[in-house]
């Protein structure tokens, strides 16, 4: 998992700086299951892209290696909420405890506290600089990881992935394999017997610090009958070459898209207010990711957020799902801001810079925000 860019210096309220709280206390990492709006728990909108390559015939199982707490930046959470069977694998003790809390009551979820690699047994797990509950700890012994180590090591159990799937009676044709193992994705993949288990789609983290190992992983997947479909954020999505991609354009969240704002939003009176912080826009494989967070001056999350952008086909609007922004909640010491994030992917975007409009709906009014965005290739 790669942390998103720090955007506190970009906080604005109609051009006026909004000072954050200093020394905010850490907040409990709980999930508000009463949240009424669609939530995209992922970092870059991976699930909606994954769905385009999921055949209807695949068994509705998701295997998540490196599941972390099962919420922040999770590519599996949305599928779990839809009733998919899930096996979530996480080695860090403190993080696994939080994963257990965040999946309590889910009968469709199986948890395993271990790491995955080819050779089973106990192994040294290096705690990263972000601590024992962070996202950069790893088994990886590559030299590029040494500078990221905190100096603290723990022992963890290592199991082959195919051993875990056999233990939990996972079908051979399961739909989705997610791997985010901090430099160890290739070792995780090699611990799966691809002659028996044939996931329809694989999402794996890009190992940018070691291009040779990333190349080896790509060659391994290609030799196993998988085709690289798209890169999104820090991940690549692969699917079986013998399966046709999903042609159902409606797959995923039922969110508004159109050439104009929906009339019920466009007709709302515009009032002064609203806070928007945009992350740097990144273009990858023809998709432009626009993300950030939006709140009211009273530190409340807007009811709806729409993002507009000029594309080659004219102005396009997309309703954004809520995105997890625990960093915003911690910064303002307000757990109600946990789902204040938004993020959408646009295609066919005109050359940079491009005008981006954000419309926040709060009650019977709306707040409008616009900015010229300079995007870069990811």
pLDDT digits (tens, 9 = 90+) for 96-127: 999 999 999 999 999 999 999 999 999 999 99
User: CA–CA separation, 6 vs 278, rounded Å?
Assistant: 10
Predicted model pTM? 0.82
Same domain, residue pair 225 and 267: no
* 219 in Cβ contact with 211 (< 8 Å): no
Q: What is the CA angle 326-330-334, rounded to 5? A: 100
For residue 224, count CB atoms less than 10 angstroms from its CB and return exposed for 0-12, middle for 13-18, buried for 19 or more. middle
- Round the CA-based radius of gyration of the chain to a whole number and report it: 21
Give how many domains the chain has, as a whole number. Answer: 2
* Percent of the chain surpassing pLDDT 90: 54
Residue 353's domain comprises 9-20+252-377
User: CA–CA separation, 230 vs 71, rounded Å?
Assistant: 23
User: CA–CA separation, 120 vs 149, rounded Å?
Assistant: 23
Q: Does 40 fall in a domain?
A: no
List, in sequence order, every residue forming a beta bridge with 305; answer none if it has no partner: 320, 360
Q: How far is CA 33 from CA 103, 105, 157, 243, in A?
A: 11, 11, 32, 35
Same domain, residue pair 89 and 232: yes
Question: Quick one: CA torsion of 306, 310, 313, 319, rounded to 10 degrees?
Answer: -10
Structure letter (DSSP) for residue 319: E
Instruction: State yes or no: pLDDT of 228 exceeds 90.
Output: yes
User: CA–CA separation, 313 vs 175, rounded Å?
Assistant: 34
pLDDT at residue 243, rounded to an integer: 87
Pairing of strands 39-40, 376-377: unpaired
Contacts of 242 (CB under 8 A, 6+ apart): 225
- Structure tokens given for 257: 């898209």
φ, ψ of residue 321 in degrees (nearest 5)? -75, 160
Same domain, residue pair 134 and 94: yes
Q: Does 317 fall in a domain?
A: yes
Question: Quick one: CA torsion of 67, 69, 70, 74, rounded to 10 degrees?
Answer: -70
Name which residue leads in pLDDT, 118 or 273: 118
Q: Does 29 fall in a domain?
A: no
Read off the CATH number of the domain in which 106 is found: 3.40.50.150
Same domain, residue pair 228 and 277: no
For the ranges 4-8, 71-75, 295-299, the maximum mean pLDDT occurs at 71-75
| Among 352, 155, 197, 359, CA closest to 268 | 359
Same domain, residue pair 166 and 213: yes
Q: Does 32 fall in a domain?
A: no
What digits encode the pLDDT tens for the residues 139-180? 988 888 888 889 999 999 999 999 999 999 999 999 999 999
- Give the chain's end-to-end CA distance (angstroms, integer): 16
Residue that is last in its domain, among 240, 271, 298: 240
What digits encode the pLDDT tens for the residues 175-215? 999 999 999 999 999 999 999 999 999 999 999 889 999 99
Contacts of 188 (CB under 8 A, 6+ apart): 65, 116, 117, 161, 179, 181
Same domain, residue pair 119 and 176: yes
Same domain, residue pair 234 and 85: yes
Same domain, residue pair 211 and 289: no
Same domain, residue pair 124 and 211: yes
* 98 in Cβ contact with 141 (< 8 Å): no
Same domain, residue pair 288 and 206: no
Residue that is last in its domain, among 205, 240, 275: 240
Pairing of strands 226-232, 174-179: unpaired
Q: Does 120 fall in a domain?
A: yes
Same domain, residue pair 281 and 319: yes
What digits encode the pLDDT tens for the residues 341-357? 999 888 878 777 888 99
Q: Does 193 fall in a domain?
A: yes
Give the mean model confidence (pLDDT) for residues 228-252.
Answer: 80
List, in sequence order, every residue forming a beta bridge with 292; answer none if it has no partner: 278, 342
């Amino acid at each position: 998992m790669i942390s998103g860019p720090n955007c506190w210096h970009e906080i604005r309220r109609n051009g006026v700086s909004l000072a954050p709280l200093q020394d905010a206390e850490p907040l409990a990492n709980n999930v508000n299951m009463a949240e009424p709006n669609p939530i995209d728990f992922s970092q870059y909108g991976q699930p909606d892209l994954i769905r385009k390559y999921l055949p209807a015939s695949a068994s509705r199982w998701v295997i998540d290696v490196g599941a972390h707490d099962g919420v922040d930046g999770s590519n599996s959470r949305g599928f779990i909420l839809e009733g998919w069977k899930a096996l979530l694998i996480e080695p860090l003790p403190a993080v696994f405890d939080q994963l257990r809390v965040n999946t309590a009551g889910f009968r469709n979820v199986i948890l395993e506290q271990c790491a995955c690699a080819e050779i089973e047994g106990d192994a040294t797990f290096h705690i990263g600089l972000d601590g024992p509950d962070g996202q950069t700890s790893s088994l990886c012994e590559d030299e590029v990881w040494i500078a990221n180590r905190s100096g603290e090591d723990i022992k963890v159990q290592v199991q082959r992935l195919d051993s875990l799937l056999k233990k939990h009676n996972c079908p051979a044709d399961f739909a989705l394999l997610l791997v985010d193992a901090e430099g160890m994705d290739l070792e995780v993949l090699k611990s799966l017997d691809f002659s028996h288990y044939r996931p329809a789609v694989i999402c794996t983290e890009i190992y940018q610090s070691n291009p040779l190992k990333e190349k080896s992983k790509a060659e391994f997947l290609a030799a196993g009958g998988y085709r690289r479909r798209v890169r999104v954020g820090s991940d690549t999505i692969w699917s079986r070459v013998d399966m046709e991609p999903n042609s159902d354009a409606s797959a995923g969240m039922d969110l508004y898209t159109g050439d104009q704002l929906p009339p019920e939003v466009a007709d709302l009176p515009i009032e002064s207010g609203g806070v928007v912080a945009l992350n740097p826009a990144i273009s990858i494989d023809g998709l432009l990711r626009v993300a950030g967070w939006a709140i009211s001056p009273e530190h409340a999350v807007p009811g709806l957020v729409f993002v507009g952008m000029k594309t080659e086909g004219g102005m396009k609007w997309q309703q954004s799902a809520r995105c997890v922004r625990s960093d915003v909640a911690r910064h303002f010491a307000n757990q109600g801001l946990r789902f204040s994030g938004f993020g959408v992917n646009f295609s066919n975007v005109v050359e940079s810079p491009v005008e981006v409009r954000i419309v926040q709906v709060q009650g019977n009014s709306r707040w409008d925000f616009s900015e010229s965005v300079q995007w870069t290739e990811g």
